[in-house]
Amino acid sequence: MKPPLKGYPSDDFQTPPEALKLLIPYLKREWLIWECAQGEGNLTEALIKEGYNVIGSDILTGQNFLTDLPDMFDCIVTNPPYSFKQQFLERAYSLKKPFAFLLPLTTLETAKRLYLFAKYGIEIIFLNNRINFITPNKKQSKSWFASAWFTNGLKIGKQLVFPTIRDIPVQTTLTGNQSEIIKIGF
Ligand SMILES: C[S@@+](CC[C@H](N)C(=O)[O-])C[C@H]1O[C@@H](n2cnc3c(N)ncnc32)[C@H](O)[C@@H]1O
């Protein structure tokens, strides 16, 4: 059987507000939150309803997260475009502010990503239900992939460990384009 959400560009999925539920306890009430790829603004609205001050932006309205910055913000919260998850993660780490990205669990499958997580820290909030994202045709269908909040700086206090079976060379633009060898977990 075909997975229910296949056929839509996953960069266009909008997040239903219930996805925020497990993240909210870790967002300080006084924080100014930046939803930096807000799409139709579901997360922005849900955060405002929760009482947060929120800045919402998107490349669709002329603000590129990878190059632009608001004057002030304390924490970034978004479901980023999946085809740019590496660039979004590198950008978020380089800004040195807390962030929470809703991403597929397959984000953990890539050496480049594990390198970032091991080097700069990651705390992951696994969701015990799949998120039924809203597709461009406005239907909320059953998702075929599991997601989690990939966070840094929220002081959740529990991390994952990343032991390596063998050293792997990776490239990242974060530290200036050089190759490095992953030696983590020991
Ligand atoms: C998966 S949608 C999620 C929308 C919203 N965050 C949500 O959770 O409902 C990803 C959004 O990222 C936006 N986007 C893509 N590249 C971007 C960039 N470089 N800077 C800012 N927004 C970007 C797209 O226009 C799209 O609205």
For ligand 1, whether the C-beta of 160 sits within 6 Å is: no
Q: What is the position in ligand 1's atom list of the atom closest to the CA of 13?
A: 1
Give dist(CA 52, CA 68) in Å, integer.
22
Q: Whose CA is nearest to atom 13 of ligand 1?
A: 37
| Residue 170: φ, ψ to 5° | -135, 160
Give residue 163's pLDDT: 55
The answer, yes or no, to whether residue 139 has pLDDT greater than 80, is no
CA of 115 to the centre of ligand 1 (A): 24
Long-range contacts made by residues 132-139, C-beta under 8 angstroms, separation at least 24?
132/16, 133/5, 133/13, 133/14, 133/15, 133/16, 134/13, 134/14, 134/15, 134/16, 134/42, 135/5, 135/8, 135/12, 135/13, 136/8, 136/9, 136/12, 137/8
Give dist(CA 40, CA 133) in Å, integer.
12
For ligand 1, whether the C-beta of 59 sits within 6 Å is: yes
Is residue 116 within 8 Å of 152, Cβ to Cβ?
no
Q: Per residue in 34-53, pLDDT tens?
A: 999 999 999 999 999 999 99
Domain map of the chain by residue range? 10-161
CA atoms in the 13 A half-sphere facing the CB of 109: 4
Q: What is the position in ligand 1's atom list of the atom closest to the CA of 65?
A: 20
Q: Per residue in 70-108, pLDDT tens?
A: 999 999 999 999 999 999 999 999 999 999 999 999 999
Give residue 84's pLDDT: 96
CATH superfamily of 10-161: Vaccinia Virus protein VP39 (3.40.50.150)
pTM of the model: 0.85
